[in-house]
Amino acid sequence: MVGLILIFIAASITNNFVLTYFLGICPFIGVSNKVESAIGLGVATTFVMTMAATVTWLIYHYILVPFNLVFLQYVTFIIVIASFVQFVEMFIRKVSPPLYKALGIFLPLITTNCAILGLTLFMILRNYSFLESVIFGLGAGVGFTIALVVMAGIREELVFSDVPEPLKGAGITLIIAGMLALAFMGFGGIISG
Amino acid sequence: MDNLMLASVFSMAGLAILFAAILGVADKKLKVEEDPKVDAINHLLPGVNCGACGFLSCHDFAEHIVAEGVDPGKCRVVEAEAKQKICEISGIEGGESHQEIPLVHCAAETEQKEPIAEYNGIKTCLAANLNFSAGIACQYACLAFGDCVRECPFGALVMENGLPKLDQEKCTGCGKCATTCPKGIIKMQAKKREKLFYVSCSSHDTVLRTRQVCKVGCITCGICVKLSQEGFFELTDNLSNADYSKQDKPEEIEKIQAKCPTKVIKTI
């Protein structure tokens, strides 16, 4: 039990995928304009991450390993991730058209979010059990959402601040991302691994 | 070895079929009903997503026509016949639009551009503009690296002799060239009549300076202003400007055009 909690906290905070591993930077910069859409993308990504972790674990351990097909893991994982993203896209389009519009191209781009492929590969590399993998996926998704929402919150406030001319836009965003990453380093002492 | 190959083929195919089936079912269950009008209009629109109408894409534009009654005339690319059909489908009157064309406000061809330095940098106007205008003395001159030519989605511009040349047949007036030009010397202008007269120079330098760096620039002699009683031209900031709303007498402007000492008044 303690192990599971540790994995969750490690994945979401101390080893945050965005701010510690620097995976999934594209949506982190692209969709962090508004808190609302950041939450939307965060939840969508969390769903995909959790489901991807669950399904890839099953496929890896019950299909790929018994048949000696481990070399196919990348292709398989990408198929799984792409399918879930397609599913999420359909679902969001049906349930919330405004969110679908707000996310735009970044919704199908969850497929190419390296944080998700990274998650599945880490999971295999660290020999997690089934339950651990699910928790790991959930934690990583929550961590991604936290990073995105914090960033969006800051950027919403940033509109009112006096940013030097050359740093406006992408420049100040990257500086803030760097500072956030530094701040998250502070959590590093809690858990290792 | 054969087993491995068979196993990989079958497992991959099996997984692919499984996911395809899931997605197929989901597609049926989660189908979004869309107004068939949107689709019909979207098919009539050119589908180049140039953005000249002010919307994200042709599909977005179609949605706005149906939902909010946006004037289909905002699309500058679509042909008149298709526009008529769009109006019928959406039930909106109008669709009247004037074709806008880009005017290049610089007349200096390659040999007329006075060099002050040699430029060996990146061959785009954007980069050259940051580097002292690529060594051309006149800081208002066309840099001739053809950013506008590359930007044009319709291939209506070609670089010829150091100036972009317009093919009016192909031009749809989307205005991408005008926004791309780092010098801002391409301006969009509605062409309402057979002939459009414009001053092909952007230099706000003084007469002396313009004379030194360019043989075909506007030298603010004011002869065009003096000769036109109805104010076809006016002088502001060391540059003559054509008043496009007063060009309904082309013969008179042609006379003035012939008197211009540097022949900077052009017709298109």
DSSP B226-268: HH-TT-SEEEETTEEEE-GGG-S-HHHHHHHHHH-TT--EEE-
DSSP annotation of B76 reads S
In angstroms, the CA B90 to CA B71 distance is 10
Phi first, then psi: what are they for B241, rounded to 5°? -120, 135
pLDDT of residue A50: 92
pLDDT of residue B39: 82
Reading chain B (268 residues) residue by residue, the pLDDT tens digits are 678 888 889 888 999 999 999 999 988 888 777 778 888 888 888 877 777 777 878 888 888 888 887 777 777 777 777 877 888 787 776 655 567 788 888 888 888 888 888 888 888 888 888 888 888 888 888 888 888 898 888 888 888 888 898 888 888 878 888 888 888 888 888 877 778 888 888 888 888 888 888 888 888 888 888 887 777 888 888 888 888 877 777 788 888 888 888 888 888 8
Contact B26 A76 (CB under 8 A): no
Residue ranges of domains in chain B, CATH in brackets: 36-90 (1.10.15.40), 100-267 (3.30.70.20)
Q: Does B67 touch chain A (CB under 8 A)?
A: no
Contact B22 A79 (CB under 8 A): no
Q: Does A163 touch chain B (CB under 8 A)?
A: no
Averaged pLDDT, A168-184:
89
Q: Please name the member of A64, A68, A79 whose beta carbon is closest to the beta carbon of B19.
A: A79
Closest-CA residue of chain B to A91: B30
pLDDT of residue A139: 94
pLDDT band at A190 (very low <50, low <70, confident <90, very high): confident
Helix (H, G, I), strand (E, B) or coil at B139: coil
Contact B23 A83 (CB under 8 A): yes
Question: Smallest CA–CA separation between B3 and chain A, in Å?
Answer: 9
Counting one residue from chain A and one from chain B, the pairs whose CB atoms sit within 8 A come to 46
pLDDT of residue A129: 93
The label of the residue with tokens 């079929």 reads B17
Distance set, CA A100 to CA A40, A104, A114 (Å): 9, 6, 21
Contacts of B21 (CB under 8 A, 6+ apart): none
Strand partners, B242: B233
Contact B4 A69 (CB under 8 A): yes
Contact A93 B7 (CB under 8 A): no
Q: Is B182 exposed, middle or buried (0-12, 13-18, 19+ CB in 10 A)?
A: middle
Helix (H, G, I), strand (E, B) or coil at B199: strand
pLDDT of residue B1: 60
Contact B15 A63 (CB under 8 A): yes
| CB-based contact A110:A48 (threshold 8 Å) | yes
Closest-CA residue of chain A to B31: A94
Tell whether pTM > 0.80.
no
Type of residue found at B204: H
Q: What is the pLDDT of residues A46-95, one digit of tens each?
A: 999 999 999 999 999 998 888 888 888 899 999 999 998 988 888 888 88
